[in-house]
Amino acid sequence: MKRLLLLVAVLVCVAVIAGEVSIWSWRSQDAEVWKQVEQELRRMGKDIKINFMAITPTEYDAKIAVALQTGTGPDIVYSRRLPGGRTQTMIENKLYLPIDQYVDFSNFSETILKSVTYEGKKYGVPFAVQVVGIFYNKEYFDKFKLKEPETWDELVEIAKTLKKNGITPFFIPGKEAWTLTMQHAMCGVSVLGPEWIKKLIDGETDFLDPKFTDLNRRLNELKAYYQDGFLANATTDMDAAFAFGQAAMVFYGIWGYQNWRNLNPDIKVGYFMVPPLSKDRKPYAYVYMDGAITLTSNVKNLQDSIEILRFCATPKFGTIFSSITFNIPAVSGAQLPKDVLFEEVMEVYQKHASPYVYWVGSVFVTQKPSLYDDVLSPGMQEMYAGKITPEDLSKKAQDAISQWYEPLKKRLGK
């Protein structure tokens, strides 16, 4: 009798596992996406249970690495874009698997596919293109008759006007260092400009250029218009504060729009690219492929995982994804949501993306020390805290990247 009960228990367990696929992500806002994907697959005759789990973004990469190395990880993960040292390491350690033989990538552009390709193989299905910039509360701009700025000085004047009227101009989640690197990078594409960034990439200038230090200084001076104690606040604090009108502007990405709407359905949000220094120069947006849906070495349910990955490469997935998250889907052919802000950001993506960048998706994050993880993330926090100067931050970048970046080493005669 005991053997019979044990056999039944094992069979039940196997039956449950056979139709389940586990997915881990840093994006908690995608939970509803996977519920709808599960329903759509069921309508297609594929009865697959999706177990989606979101992990705190600041802990995500470390937890994924440990779980996959110990064999306790999920079937599928959200992976970071390429180039990038974190994802390259996971691929080299065979923790992420290539999926070329399983998935049709014909609905993706070559540019998008570069962000998931390593040594000729594709490691994941791209899920979103992100646009970052300054999002603002339209009601405050209307109340104080403010217009979207065309220059950096006009942006500062807007902040002065808001502060004078008792409104916090900017909410900055300074506790999460990556948001400060993002802020620096989105300002860089307009204030420094893509031409300057190309010169940096080509080794025709370097991080000690006064223009780079001037950007550091401008950001450091802008902190006079941030909320009190901003280095202790996280993105969850920012979402609530912005959604409920406790601050007028945020340096962030379109992915935040879903959270703001969920918290306050009546919020009216506008967007503008970080303005350049003068009106004769064009503003640009920092645009990048967010990440990919990736098969892991821990996969237990290969066939159903493949079915999910195949579906993620279809316009139908893009339609589900964008309608829930208000993010731009990476896959072509999706039906996009009818929303004024989304449509504006989509146009910026199509017409104003900077061709050269130095944050995610750039050459400066491919090795260690990384400009993202090892320089700007801690360095921006230190500068904002008054521990280092704008000049010190420039020197930190120069010293770090010149250790390995050949064009910079050649420029410096190393």
Q: Where are the domains of the chain?
A: 2-126+291-326, 130-287+354-412
pLDDT 10s digits, 37-68: 999 999 999 999 999 999 998 899 999 999 99
Domain 130-287+354-412 CATH class label: alpha beta
pLDDT of residue 139: 98
CA atoms within 13 Å, Cβ hemisphere of 268: 6
pLDDT of residue 82: 80
pLDDT band at 317 (very low <50, low <70, confident <90, very high): very high
CB 126 within 8 A of CB 115: yes
CB 357 within 8 A of CB 139: no
Alpha-carbon gap, residue 186 to 222, rounded angstroms: 15
Say which CATH architecture domain 2-126+291-326 belongs to.
3-Layer(aba) Sandwich (3.40)
The sign of the torsion formed by the CA atoms of 187, 189, 195, 198 equals positive
Average pLDDT over residues 3-31: 65
Amino acid at site 134: I
pLDDT band at 11 (very low <50, low <70, confident <90, very high): very low
Lowest mean pLDDT segment, chosen from 11-20, 210-219, 249-258, 373-382:
11-20
Average pLDDT over residues 268-279: 98
pLDDT band at 119 (very low <50, low <70, confident <90, very high): very high
DSSP 353: B
Which class for 36: exposed (0-12), middle (13-18), buried (19 or more C-beta within 10 A)?
middle
With residue 225 as reference, give the H or E element that holds it: none
CA-based R_g, the chain, Å:
23
pLDDT of residue 13: 43
Alpha-carbon gap, residue 337 to 126, rounded angstroms: 19
Alpha-carbon gap, residue 95 to 88, rounded angstroms: 10
Quick one: which of 30, 50, 33 has its CA closest to 308? 50
Quick one: which of 138, 195, 173 has its CA closest to 253? 173
Average pLDDT over residues 337-349: 94
- Give the mean pLDDT of the chain: 93
pLDDT of residue 327: 92
Assign residue 321 a region (left: φ > 0; alpha: ψ between -120 and 50; beta: otherwise): alpha
Quick one: which of 323, 312, 346 has its CA closest to 127? 312
- Residue 52 CA, chain-centre distance (Å), reads 19
pLDDT of residue 85: 74
Is the pLDDT confidence value at 325 over 70?
Answer: yes
pLDDT of residue 257: 95
Is the pLDDT confidence value at 14 over 50?
Answer: no
Q: Do the domains 2-126+291-326 and 130-287+354-412 sit in the same CATH topology, yes or no?
A: yes
Q: Cis bond leading into 74, ω under 30°?
A: no
Q: Please, which residues bridge with residue 272 across strands?
A: 134
Is the pLDDT confidence value at 267 over 50?
Answer: yes
Tallying the residues shown for the chain, one arrives at 414
pLDDT of residue 2: 41
CA atoms within 13 Å, Cβ hemisphere of 213: 14
Which class for 267: exposed (0-12), middle (13-18), buried (19 or more C-beta within 10 A)?
middle
Is the pLDDT confidence value at 8 over 70?
Answer: no
Quick one: tokens of 393? 């931050």
CB 248 within 8 A of CB 259: no
Quick one: tokens of 129? 């293109």
For the chain, percent of residues with pLDDT exceeding 70? 96
Alpha-carbon gap, residue 270 to 342, rounded angstroms: 10
Average pLDDT over residues 352-356: 95
CB 290 within 8 A of CB 30: no
Q: Regarding beta strands 49-54 and 20-25, do their DSSP bridges make them parallel or antiparallel, or are they unpaired?
A: parallel
Alpha-carbon gap, residue 372 to 120, rounded angstroms: 25
pLDDT of residue 348: 95
With residue 24 as reference, give the H or E element that holds it: strand 20-25
Render 105-155 in DSSP notation, one character per residue.
-TTS-HHHHHTTEETTEE-SEE-EEEEEEEEEEHHHHHHTT----SSHHHH
